Amino acid sequence: MLIGYVSDERYVALCDVAVEFERNGRSVAVARSTPRGGIYAELAPGHYRVTLVKPGYGAKVVNLEVGTGEPHQLRLLSDRLLGYMWPRWVRSGERSEFRVHSVAPYRLSLWRYGQTREFVRTLGWFDEHGPRATMQVTPDGDYTRVGVQWNRRGYSSSPHHTQFAEGPARSGLYYLHAENERGEFFSFPWVVAPAGPSAQVAVLASTNTWNAYNNFGGRSNYVNAAGLPPTPVVNARLELPRYTDGAFSEWGAALDDAFPPLSFERPEPDNCVPAGARPTDPIAGRLASSLAPAEWRLLAWLEREGHRYDYYAEAQLHDGTLDLDAYRVLILSVHPEYWTRRMFERVRDWADRGGRLMYLGGNGINCEVELPTPDTMRCKTHLRAEGGSLGMRDPADPTRFYESRFHRTVAPEASLLGVVTTETGIMTAAPYHALRADHWVFAGTGLQNGAIFGAASLHERCSGGASGHETDKLSEHAPPGAVVLAKGLNPDNGGAEIVYHERPGGGAVFAAGSITYVSSLLVDAAISRITLNVLNRFLEA
């Protein structure tokens, strides 16, 4: 009979896992998992103690009820170095617990990521007397919904087993560096907001986007968004509908409400910054150029130009920790795609009261999310009743709207940003060319109309310039007076449009409209000067 399936942290089937079933203190059956991760054994219904062992993965002992309901989904964790802070964001003086998975003793240190990687302090070496005692255990089932719950299984409340770090007095993006005796390295981010406002500029980390793209556990808003399939994956290209069905959409897989929760309490491998990396280094990897490693480049640029800032997570904007009225300028960067309605309304209303917004990213404020608990995020589905989130009306049912990424007829983000993402230009990169070189944003650049700028970039996934990866253009729903200052030279007229507009209450918005824009800040003189012109102007009384 089929007892269940066994898979790893990416929900990939594990073959040849040794499985032993015990009952009443006696071994009653031994099995090995099949190539599809299936565990088969002839067992009477009832309660069993089950041990799972496979080289390269942490052994595990669980208690199962056999013969009652659906097959069990058992999960093992590979022997790779991983970690995260919990909570992921704090204010200065507040504590987070570091939760690290290592099968060998490891050293942990704290660093601040600004113009340089600044060493703060060593947190210590961590090991236990037992073998592999700093190894973590993941829950079974779909733990993308509930979190990995590290330091809660096999750990006591002893301070020897649970350690904390206090948020430093200086706000910023911090990283924890873990290095173990096997020679492995893993870094993970920690957002430290100020105890109280200390600068005129607030920078918002795109922490919701980081989570939406994180598929640790086998599910993100891009893979298995509506839930894990009933059996683990063996070959993604041959099995997942996103690859096998040309008409399939992750975002159309569920209707009317929102997808199952995505927990923030998971490691984020795509946010790891390699050992020894500098902010002027090219950004390697598929997702790093859209997430925290790319956002670090904005912070490095701000510090290079002598501008102080306070740093916040998006949840801190949502819950009011970030008091927008205490700041002259708010900066969004790289890919602030996933926002709550409350976040949008707070920033929009603040801009209408005189706030100045710098949107230095692409495909921003594009998908609505809910934050039902401090631990989880729910991505709204792309069909919902009228009056829900914003998007394109469903032609088959006028009472419904799509929240599609492309070709939308209703684009609420454009009422704030002036721009909206379109599909043209996607996955290409190019420089911009100036259209309104007489505008003050170009002061000191020496550019004339038609001049090309923004060719230099650190973005390796889409190399070629500051207009790229995903690009926004002026929308018909932009506020009156919005003006296009420059446009990217991407194919099919798909270049990002740099747009500026002023709001009736004295506020103003500068929109770069490109994911790759920030990757050019440190290495392209014209992009740097234009951005500095905007920031200095916005800071003027």
Confidence of residue 246 (pLDDT cuts 50, 70, 90): confident
CATH topology for 82-196?
Immunoglobulin-like (2.60.40)
pLDDT band at 386 (very low <50, low <70, confident <90, very high): very low
Q: What is the pLDDT of residue 318?
A: 98
CA separation for the pair 113, 189 (Å, rounded): 9
Question: Which pLDDT score, from 0 to 100, does residue 181 have?
Answer: 95
Q: Say whether pLDDT at 254 is over 60.
A: no
- Mean pLDDT value across the chain: 91
CB 123 within 8 A of CB 110: yes
Residue type, 512: A
Q: Name residue 431's amino acid.
A: P
Angle at Cα 114 formed by Cα 108 and Cα 115, nearest 5°? 125
Q: Determine the Cα angle at 243 with ends 237 and 244, to 5°.
A: 95
- Among residues 6, 1, 76, 32, the alpha carbon closest in space to that of 232 is found at 6
Alpha-carbon distance of 122 to 195, in angstroms, equals 23
3-state secondary structure of 2: strand
Q: Are 500 and 485 a contacting pair, CB within 8 Å?
A: yes
Which tens digit of pLDDT belongs to each residue from 194-221? 999 999 999 999 999 999 999 999 999 9
Instruction: Answer whether residue 428 shows pLDDT above 90.
Output: yes
pLDDT at 252: 59
DSSP H or E segment with residue 318:
helix 314-318
Is the pLDDT assigned to residue 383 strictly greater than 60?
Answer: no
Calculate the alpha carbon distances from 531 to 334, 405, 453, 521 in Å: 14, 27, 13, 8
- Predicted confidence (pLDDT) at residue 385 exceeds the cutoff of 60: no
**What are the φ and ψ backbone dihedral angles of 47, each rounded to 5 degrees?**
-95, 135
What digits encode the pLDDT tens for the residues 321-363?
Answer: 999 999 999 999 999 999 999 999 999 999 999 999 999 999 9
Tokens 């996934």 -> residue: 461
pLDDT of residue 242: 84
Largest CA distance in the chain: 84
Identify the architecture of domain 2-75 in CATH: Sandwich (2.60)
Confidence class for position 498, pLDDT limits 50, 70, 90: very high
**Per-domain boundaries in the chain:** 2-75, 82-196, 209-213+279-375+413-539
Which letter does DSSP use for residue 394 in this model?
Answer: P
Give the count of alpha carbons within 13 A of 182, CB side only.
Answer: 13
Q: Please check the confidence at residue 478 and state whether its pLDDT lies above 60.
A: yes
Please name the residue that has the structure tokens 């390699």.
Answer: 274
Here the tokens at position 374 are 């401090």
Pairing of strands 376-379, 262-263: antiparallel
Residue 156 predicted with pLDDT over 70: no
Confidence of residue 292 (pLDDT cuts 50, 70, 90): very high
Best CATH choice for the domain 209-213+279-375+413-539 from the list 3.40.50.880, 3.40.30.10, 3.40.1350.10, 1.20.120.1200:
3.40.50.880
Domains 2-75 and 82-196 share a fold: yes
- What is the 3-state secondary structure of 126-184? ECCCCCCCCCCCCCCCCCCCCCCCCCCCCCCCCCCCCCEEECCCCCEEEEEEEEECCCC
Q: What angle do CA 124, 125, 127 make, to 5 degrees?
A: 140
Residue 253 has pLDDT above 70, yes or no: no
Please say whether the beta carbons of 76 and 6 come within 8 A: yes
